[in-house]
Amino acid sequence: MRSHGTDRVRRGNGEQWIILSRQSKGWVPRTPAAVTRNERPGTTVRCEETYYEVVSATATAGGIRYVLEPWREENVMRIVDDYDEASEARRQADHRDGVRRERGRVGANILAVFTGQLPGAVQERMGNELGIWPARLTLISILPAMVFVGVVVNLAVHRRMEQEAPLPLWLLLAAGYLLAESAIRFVVAMTQNRAIGSVAGFIAYSLYYLAAPGRKNLVRPLEESKGSLVPEMTEENAANDRYLLLEPLLTLLSPADQDRLAAKFGFDYRKMASIVAAVILTFGVLGVVNSISLLMDGARLSPAVSLLVAGGLAAEQVVRLMKLRERPAGSVLGVLVRPLARKLLTLGVERASHG
């Protein structure tokens, strides 16, 4: 077997061939038989008129390691993927396009804290133009409101425990309103797969629309959403949307789970793992400082527990940031993320049956 593109190919055990690729080719490995399921063959790969089966796909520091074996006649070929110069050139071009889209997607997600507040029709147009899931903009924009609500609740509880003056009524009403609005927006985005803005975003966009000289090219504030150009919500599209939504949190899973996601979805921990760890570290340090300041007024159980939790998380992130330079590293918070990612992982297994 000859190598193509930037791949490296070498012999494995017996009739095996090992392909070391810098990027994921989308090949699904063989799924071994289990008590509740039969063995499912991996992706069929045709190379120089010979058919091979992908028996394993493992993420490495330099990319993906594929192990291929000659195709077994008793298996049924569902999809055949060629491995030649033309196919690799196409995959490289697709990868470059994907990198460009990824850069635009990352920028859009960063700004989603603000753009997700805009009217739903505006978010739909942005999603169609950038090729991203519009409802995700809504979900990301909810985070600042929930942080504000959390801070207000924490302050209210602290003042109640310390028998201090309660928070101003307007602050409690603002937190209550944001909690209710965020809950409605979250339910709409998750259950209807539809973007929905906030009242503040609607007011801000309406003022901008009235002041803009070229408003004929803008979406009207009260314009009804025409729907996203994102494909129909098939099982595969739902898996991709779930993957995109959970991508930052997936960096908290165990290295084994991250390797499975890398082989099935092209997951790359290096994109966001350090950012997520740095954010958790920041909040951990702030929690430590706040707990110490409370303990200086006298030993109490609640600040002591908070100090242990915040300190433990902060220390773990320091260790993870050092490990992330070379390999993926999980977190104790992964136990909270795995239930959310369980369906994603099982859907990834189901993909193998269509390989």
User: Which 3-state string (H, E, C) describes 46-88?
Assistant: EECCEEEEEEEEEEECCEEEEEEEECCCCCCCCCEEECCHHHH
Residue whose C-alpha is closest to residue 25's, from 36, 178, 47: 47
Q: Beta strand pairing status for 80-82 and 44-47? A: parallel
- β-partners of residue 58 are 65
With 0-12 / 13-18 / 19 or more C-beta atoms within 10 angstroms meaning exposed / middle / buried, residue 9 is middle
Dihedral sign, Cα of residue 275, residue 244, residue 336, residue 138: positive
Alpha helices in the chain (DSSP H): 85-115, 120-130, 134-161, 169-192, 199-211, 235-250, 255-265, 273-295, 301-323, 334-352
pTM: 0.46
Q: What is the pLDDT of residues 226-285, one digit of tens each?
A: 554 444 445 666 666 677 767 888 899 999 888 888 877 778 888 788 888 888 888 888
Q: Tell me the per-residue pLDDT of 199-230, one tens digit each, with 9 for 90 and over.
A: 888 899 889 888 888 777 888 877 765 554 44
- pLDDT tens digits, residue range 66-85? 999 999 888 888 778 889 88
175 pLDDT above the threshold of 50: yes
Q: Chain-wide mean pLDDT for the chain?
A: 82
User: What distance in Å separates the CA atoms of residue 35 and residue 347, rounded to the nearest whole number?
Assistant: 18
Given a contact cutoff of 8 angstroms between Cβ atoms, the answer to whether 149 and 160 are in contact is no
Please check whether residue 175 is in contact with residue 149, taking contact to mean a CB–CB distance below 8 angstroms. Answer: yes
Q: How far is it, in rounded angstroms, from Cα 265 to Cα 26?
A: 7
Q: What's the mean pLDDT in 305-323?
A: 90
Residue 80 pairs in a beta bridge with: 44
AA letter at 27: W
Q: Is 64 or 263 the better-scoring residue by pLDDT?
A: 64
Residue with tokens 């082989």: 263
What does the buried/exposed string (b/e) look like for 289-302 if buried means 16 or more CB atoms within 10 Å of the residue's CB?
A: ebbeebeeeeeeee
Return d(Cα 169, Cα 173) in angstroms, integer: 6
Using an 8 Å Cβ cutoff, are 61 and 326 in contact?
A: yes
Task: Taking the CA atoms of 241, 247, 249 and 255 in sequence, report the sign of the dihedral they define.
Answer: positive
Residue 351 has pLDDT above 60, yes or no: no
pLDDT band at 195 (very low <50, low <70, confident <90, very high): confident
